[in-house]
Amino acid sequence: MSTEPGPTAAGKSSFDLVDADRLFEELGLGPDTNLLDVGSGVGNYALAAAERMGPTDGGRIYAVDLWKEGITLLQTEAARRGFARIVPMVADVGSVIPVGDESVDVCLIATVLHDLVLDGTHEGALREMSRTLKSDGLLAVVEFEKVDGPPGPPKDIRLNPQELEAIVTRFGFEPSKMVAVGPYHYLSLFTK
């Protein structure tokens, strides 16, 4: 393992705390969907999406994270499971997401936006997410409820739904729906 410091929360995942069936039901992924997983880490969400999307032809899953070790682990696991539709990439999502303009149907950012806000990189990331989403694309944001933990980050850096909406709508997104996706998390959906 590298001794190089990783991004905030590198190696942590909320996936096991989230009701994945409910989440993916709301995302409505089909075999031809292009999904962008922002701050993917080791790719728990990307791998679960690939399982639900079926055979490898059709849509792609772009899994992007600054944490090189996590992306390497995802590459290995995706290859082992034969998920050719997963495209893991190392990138600073606050600067550039290496995906074409308006090429993504659904952008998922799961328990990462609060860290980007904390790091001051959320504006660049949201601009990039808006750029990559198709004109009718869906932005799906999973965040921890703003209550004391554990699990999760300290309460003072969590985003409640109103704070989240105030941040996201500045980048051309309209609120669509909010649902609970487990005892600790909510999912906010936005359209472009």
72 CB contacts (<8 Å, ≥6 apart)?
none
Q: For 153-185, write each residue's pLDDT tens digit.
A: 999 999 999 999 999 999 999 999 999 999 999
Q: Where are the domains of the chain?
A: 15-191
Q: Among the CATH numbers 3.20.20.70, 3.40.50.150, 3.40.50.10880, 1.10.10.10, which is that of 15-191? A: 3.40.50.150
What pLDDT score was predicted for residue 54?
A: 83
- The token duo for 102 is 């308006």
Burial 114-145 (b: 16+ CB within 10 A, else e): bbbbeeebbebbbbbbbbbbeeebbbbbbbbb
Phi, psi dihedrals of residue 134, rounded to the nearest 5°: -65, 165
DSSP 3: -
The DSSP line for 93-144 is TTT---S-TT-EEEEEEES-HHHHHHHT-HHHHHHHHHHHEEEEEEEEEEEE
What pLDDT score was predicted for residue 12?
A: 64
Calpha distance 66→41 (Å, rounded)? 8
Q: State how far Cα 92 lies from the chain centre.
A: 14
Calpha distance 34→85 (Å, rounded)? 9
pLDDT tens digits, the chain, 192 residues: what are they? 333 444 455 556 789 999 999 999 999 999 999 999 999 999 999 999 999 998 767 899 999 999 999 999 999 999 999 999 999 999 999 999 999 999 999 999 999 999 999 999 999 999 999 999 999 999 999 999 999 989 999 999 999 999 999 999 999 999 999 999 999 999 999 999
Q: Find the Cα–Cα–Cα–Cα dihedral 36, 86, 63, 25, rounded to 10°.
A: 50
- The token duo for 47 is 């791998």
Q: How many CA atoms lie within 13 A of 160 on its CB side?
A: 6
What pLDDT score was predicted for residue 147?
A: 95
